[in-house]
Amino acid sequence: MDAIIYCRVSTDKKTQETSLQRQQEELKKLADLHHLDVKKVVMEKASGYEVDREGILDVLHTMKEEKISVLLIQDETRLGRGNARIALLHAFHKENATIYTISHQGQLQLSESDSMVLDIISLVEEHQRKLHNAKIKRGMKRAVENGYRPQQNLKNQGVNSGREKKEAPIEEIVRLRHNGLTFAEISVTLKGFGYNISKATVHRRYQEYQESAQSLDKTKEI
């Protein structure tokens, strides 16, 4: 299996340089022990309490893009500390990654409390996903009940199907707004029909439409 080595120290002190090198050497030996093919080594100096570390984000991105399934670390504190550790454990779990540590000389063994927390997070995410889908379904149903006909109004139906549309026609935003939908409901409704558009973008487009309409009215008056 392919693997990534991740090494971290928390300070820029020169004395920590030897720690990084030692971690790397020990993790390469661990990889050899388990017949893992190391594709990349990431080393960084950053606090374990931070999630948005350049090195760990690079690891996550590489594992996802290159379909690498194993992460090698000295111990779970190298991954992170406090809430950051739990957040990153969850992130790697979602990528179906297996974590090997030197301290376990193999796969990371989570404590009972950590396993319970990760189970709770996964459960909450699943309910959030169901709630989000329910909101989309409700918005679509409400739009159709108010006269919205996507098969008649949305252009290029069936063209490039499978590719996400990046734009939504302003006339549909206006139509849905006039039918009483909130900007959030318009956003989830259009997402249900394949338009990747946020609530903020819907609001901005509608405001631009209103400003344009007002300018046109003033021009006519002149």
pLDDT tens digits for 129-161? 777 777 777 777 777 777 666 555 555 444 444
Q: Identify which of 43, 38, 40 has the alpha carbon closest to the alpha carbon of residue 78.
A: 43
Q: What is the pTM of this model?
A: 0.58
What does each C-alpha distance from 170 to 73, 79, 103, 154 come to in angstroms? 50, 46, 58, 11
Determine the pLDDT at residue 186. 83
Sheet strand arrangement including 37-45: 37-45, 2-9, 70-73, 98-101, 106-107
Q: CATH for 1-113?
A: 3.40.50.1390
Parallel, antiparallel or unpaired: strands 37-45 and 70-73: unpaired
Assign 33 to helix, strand or coil. helix
User: What's the CA dihedral at 118, 49, 30, 94 to 10 degrees?
Assistant: 30
The residues assigned a catalytic role are: 10
Cα(124)–Cα(101) distance, integer angstroms: 28
**161-198: pLDDT as tens digits:** 444 445 667 888 888 888 778 888 888 878 777 788 88
